[in-house]
């Protein structure tokens, strides 16, 4: 089975800045070519999941309702561009909360795989694309190939302090999709669409 996990801010949409959050639809801006990248993955038969930490909700910076409005806006635009995100899974806990869903922990990755009757032990052609060390650690913890994009929070200067390295480094999601599709041993035809969900 072909699966791609994506962080949101800095991968799909522009990173709002350190210590800041996307709290309104008008602050959500797609990174150039990210919608086309999602369409290409969809057409190639990939299950696409967004796995994102959104601690601003837990901190009271913005509401769960606002987060869901932003998610609906994102999914609508992705769908109109021909892409499909299978499910959006958020961790809204604060960094010091004891939860298993905040990256680099992989509770939400496990939920996503269970939703398609799959497991980490049988992940198949699976990638995790992110813009932080936490994303790369989550991908490694889940047994995925990891792709670090330079379009978000951290860059290669940050990586000098990391205790882990991604499998690949690319400029943005579009280039990540180039890489993923180049490695794809089983290209697929365009799939039918189903309604995406968020948790």
Query: Do you know the residue count of the chain?
Result: 199
Helices (H), the chain: 34-43, 55-58, 64-80, 107-115, 133-141, 156-159, 173-183
Quick check: is 7 catalytic? yes
Predicted pLDDT of residue 191: 46
Helix (H) / strand (E) element for 126: namely strand 125-130
Report DSSP letters for 89-122, one per residue.
EEE-S-TTS--SSSTTS-HHHHHHHHHTT--GGG
Predicted pLDDT of residue 94: 87
The reported pTM is 0.91
User: How far is residue 135 from each of residues 6, 8, 56, 160, 196, measured CA to CA in Å?
Assistant: 9, 10, 18, 16, 22
Predicted pLDDT of residue 188: 65
**Which among 104, 111, 108 is positioned nearest to 140, based on CA atoms?**
104
CATH level 2 (architecture), domain 2-198: 3-Layer(aba) Sandwich (3.40)
For 8: left if phi > 0, alpha if psi spans -120 to 50, otherwise beta; the answer is alpha
How would you write the pLDDT of the chain (199 residues) with one tens digit per residue? 899 999 999 999 999 998 899 999 999 999 999 999 999 999 999 999 999 999 999 999 999 999 999 999 999 999 999 999 999 999 999 888 889 999 999 999 999 999 998 877 666 679 999 999 999 999 999 999 999 999 998 877 878 888 899 999 999 999 999 999 999 877 765 444 444 555 5
β-strands 2-6, 197-198 pairing: unpaired
* Active-site residue, from 9, 135, 172, 175: 9
Quick check: is 27 catalytic? no
CA dist 25 and 55 (Å) reads 17
* Active-site residue, from 7, 135, 172, 175: 7
Contact 163, 140 (CB under 8 A): no
């Amino acid at each position: 089975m072909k699966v791609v996990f994506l962080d949101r801010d800095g991968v799909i949409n522009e990173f709002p800045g350190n210590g800041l959050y996307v709290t309104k639809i008008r602050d959500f801006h797609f990174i150039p070519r990210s919608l086309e990248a999602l369409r290409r993955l969809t057409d190639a038969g990939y299950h696409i999941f967004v796995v994102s930490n959104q601690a601003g909700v837990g901190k009271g910076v913005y509401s769960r309702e606002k987060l869901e409005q932003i998610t609906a806006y994102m999914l609508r635009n992705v769908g109109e561009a021909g892409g499909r995100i299978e499910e959006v899974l958020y961790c809204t806990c604060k960094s010091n909360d004891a939860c298993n869903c905040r990256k680099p922990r992989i509770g939400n990755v496990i939920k996503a795989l269970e939703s398609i009757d799959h497991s980490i032990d049988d992940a198949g052609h699976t990638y995790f694309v992110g813009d932080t060390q936490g994303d790369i650690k989550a991908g490694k913890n889940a047994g995925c190939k990891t792709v670090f994009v330079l379009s978000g929070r951290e860059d290669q200067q940050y990586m000098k302090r990391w205790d882990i390295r991604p499998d690949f480094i690319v400029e943005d999601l579009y280039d990540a999709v180039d890489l993923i599709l180049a490695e794809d041993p089983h290209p697929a035809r365009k799939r039918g669409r189903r309604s995406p969900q968020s948790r």
